[in-house]
Amino acid sequence: MSKTVSSTPELHALRQKIDATDEEIVRLIARRLETVSQILKEKSGRPAMLRDAERERQVLGRVETLAQSLGLSGPLARKIFSEIITHSLAREAAALSGGEAQTKQISVAYHGTPLTYNHMAAQKYIGSSGQSARFVGARSIAEAVDSLVAGTVDLALVPIENTSGGSINEVYDILRERDLHVVGEETLKVDHCLAALTDVPLQILQRISSHPLALDQCSAFLATLPRALNSPSVDSAEALKAVADSGDPTWAAIGAPEAATAFGLTILRRGIGNHEEILTRYVALARAPESFDVRIPCKTSLILSTRHEHGALLRCLQSLSDYGVSLTKLESRPRPNRPWEYMFFIDIEGNVADPRVGAALDDLRAQALFLKVLGCYPAKATPAELQASAVKAVPAAAGVAAPAPAGVPAPAPTGAVPGANTANSDPTRAGAPDQTAVSAASLPDNSHYRLAARATRGEDTLVRVGDLLIGGNGFTVMAGPAWVESRDQVGQAAKLVRERGAHVLRGGIFKPQAGHDADQGQGYEALAFLAAAGKAFGMPIITEIMSPDQVRPVALHADILQIGARNMQNFALLAEVGKVDRPVLLKRGLSSTIDEWLAAANFILKQGNGQVILCERGIRTFENATRNTLDLSAVVVVRERTHLPIVVDPSQGTGHRAYVAPMAWAARAAGAHGLLIDVDAGLQAALASDDQSLTTIQFGQLMEGLSRWRA
Ligand code: PEP
Ligand code: MN
């Protein structure tokens, strides 16, 4: 566009004057930043918030008035100073979060090639923190994230939403699946321009390239160029570069003005987007969470699954509202492999270091079925006005009074859930404890299992597994081979236990000893056999995991994760199951008290996973006539003390197949929510591989009896 003007000495002098003025402006901005950091030092020791919205309003008002009095545009002055203020706040926030991090060079992955919007966003993010970085372009968002997981970069900056295109679902799915943490956010204004090799009239253009989304965002402008064909490219920078390399004056590309200039192109038209203000929000992901000083206005991002109760989402949102925590975003995404079930992505204003936010999250954990804190990070994509209200709401003292729980009892389950038994009208259950009659005052100290405590939630927790609800008035039978040995063995077992009324297929996959048979399934191979059998006969599957690294891979295929008796206090394992959105069956330790067991369950709940089923499987006593002493009184005690469901394993509990059915009946009478039973479908009793597994015939008789009892 710029016409070459022959240089004169006067022009040269004026240009030098402009250069000097620009330098002066930059120096003044640097001086302003320096003063801001002096102010921060002045404030340190006093718990003042970093951002003072009232003061910002005054500053912007003053510069606007001054600009207008000098014949300049007031809004322009306001815009320039907002940018300067935002930048200096980000610098100060970074300084508060530890100075040494700033001197180290970090590496940041982004999707695309140099000078794409994603790259510029990464540069902006790093620039505002005062750090220096090496930027690594990846071929896809997934590749950028993979390099973060692999440890080849320190951060990945990925786009999460766009004001014209909406949410970027791929990134939400990554946040759900991966153990990554949001440590920052950035916004970038998408300012599309059209650029070509030289200053040509728009009418001669024959081809226009860019990322498909960018072409979409400029559709109205492109419609005015009917002769030009749209030609999608991998990203906008690639398109600009291709035009620069082509030597073809009839080819143009859409991208950022900075990028167009960097590739030596001529900008034909600026601001060609359909909407004047297109913004993309990015999140910075890291392998470990970061914490930020309470003075920094922060956002916290969460993933939430609600309970299967009326008004469940409402009650979760009420928890936030009760503590004065505002939402900035609520987005729903389908739960994987759970048709028509949703999880919610929530951004709240607040720093987890703020006791008020911590208390709100504790309350939310008690309401939610699953809660994952994705990260707490300095807020950038929030208007200053909203931040002002967050500042005012910070309590003066640390002690935050918890609001009274809503106390709305959930309606009783309808019992119409296919597969689950309903015992609403079963007179034999009259002896089961009436939890609502137990007053909290009469209960022992529950402070070490507060989230699991009956006093925290009046209603029974119902753990949903496919169409089944475990807990409440249901009675769920989980049965199958103690060990998965082959595809045929577990397939046959699934068929036979299903025909006899089992709801869930059980099977061990990580057998300590290696197999002696070529056909023997082990580990993940056995898991595939178990999953195929469950699928073939319409049963969810449960299997035991023994180490944290098994949790996520197994959770991809298993519907319930079992924690064995020996691992009840394996806190690394409990921590990991607490972070995935899968129901967990927690067996009682061989020598654990009920309180220790509930504390272990509470630990899982505290990580965010509220879908815990307890399982009594016998404890070690002096008695050796049975393998363990099945403690059925635990069922009654547990139902009194916690809202979590409890099932009984009479197979491990007694160790003798002859004792399994009587104890199964007794468990039912004591108020258990279900059974876990070993069934060896292949063989006669005499040939069974262990002492405790029922034959198919015995299992059939037990189920027949139980169903007649229920009728
Ligand atoms: C099992 O159920 O396969 C098992 C090993 O049980 P426990 O952890 O109760 O011994
Ligand atoms: Mn982690």
List the single range of 183-187, 379-383, 501-505 with lowest mean pLDDT. Answer: 379-383
Identify the pLDDT of residue 512. Answer: 58
**486/432: higher pLDDT:** 486
- Output the CA angle 600-601-606, nearest 5 degrees: 95
Mutate to test the pocket of ligand 1, among 652, 680, 689, 694 (most ligand atoms within 8 A of CB): 652
Atom of ligand 1 nearest to the CA of 588: 9
Identify the pLDDT of residue 309. Answer: 78
Q: How far is the CA of 172 from the centre of ligand 2 (A)?
A: 17
List the single range of 231-240, 351-360, 685-694 with lowest mean pLDDT. Answer: 685-694
Q: pLDDT digits over 273-301, tens only?
A: 988 778 999 999 999 999 888 888 899 99
Mutate to test the pocket of ligand 1, among 587, 627, 648, 678 (most ligand atoms within 8 A of CB): 587
Question: d(Cα 117, Cα 120) in Å, to the nearest integer?
Answer: 5
Atom of ligand 1 nearest to the CA of 565: 8
3-state helix/strand/coil string of 567-579 = HCCCHHHHHHHCC
Which ligand is the nearest neighbour of the Cα of 552?
2
Atom of ligand 1 nearest to the CA of 482: 3
Q: How far is the CA of 564 from the centre of ligand 1 (A)?
A: 5
Q: pLDDT digits over 108-157, tens only?
A: 999 999 999 999 999 999 988 778 899 999 999 999 999 999 999 999 99
* Over residues 493-518, mean pLDDT: 81
Neighbours of 575 (CB within 10 A): 15
Q: Which three-class secondary structure state does DSSP give residue 221?
A: helix
Q: pLDDT digits over 46-72, tens only?
A: 556 677 777 888 898 999 999 999 998
Q: pLDDT digits over 296-328, tens only?
A: 889 999 999 988 778 888 889 988 989 989 888
Q: pLDDT digits over 423-478, tens only?
A: 333 333 333 444 333 444 455 788 889 999 988 887 889 998 987 999 988 899 99
Closest CA to 304 of 374, 356, 360: 374
3-state helix/strand/coil string of 416-447 = CCCCCCCCCCCHHHHHCCCHHHCCHHHCCCCH
Token output for 79 = 């815009």
Residue 82 has pLDDT above 60, yes or no: yes
CA dihedral sign, ordered 301, 303, 307, 309: positive
Provide residues with CB under 6 Å of ligand 1: 482, 508, 544, 564-565, 587, 617, 649, 652
Residue nearest to atom 10 of ligand 1 (CA): 565
Identify the pLDDT of residue 421. Answer: 37
Question: d(Cα 96, Cα 84) in Å, to the nearest integer?
Answer: 18
Instruction: With cut-offs at 50, 70 and 90, classify the pLDDT of residue 646.
Output: very high
Contact predicate 373/379, CB 8 Å: no
Which ligand is the nearest neighbour of the Cα of 374?
2
Atom of ligand 1 nearest to the CA of 562: 2
Closest CA to 676 of 544, 492, 569: 544
Strand locations in 487-606, DSSP E?
A: 504-506, 541-544, 560-563, 584-587
Q: How far is the CA of 567 from the centre of ligand 1 (A)?
A: 10
Residue 691 has pLDDT above 60, yes or no: yes
Atom of ligand 1 nearest to the CA of 651: 2
Identify the pLDDT of residue 568. Answer: 97
Q: How far is the CA of 584 from the centre of ligand 1 (A)?
A: 14
Please state the length of the chain.
711
Radius of gyration of the chain (CA): 32
* Percent of the chain topping pLDDT 90: 60
Q: How far is the CA of 586 from the centre of ligand 1 (A)?
A: 10
Instruction: With cut-offs at 50, 70 and 90, classify the pLDDT of residue 12.
Output: very high
Q: How far is the CA of 286 from the centre of ligand 2 (A)?
A: 9
Q: How far is the CA of 302 from the centre of ligand 2 (A)?
A: 14
Residue nearest to atom 4 of ligand 1 (CA): 564
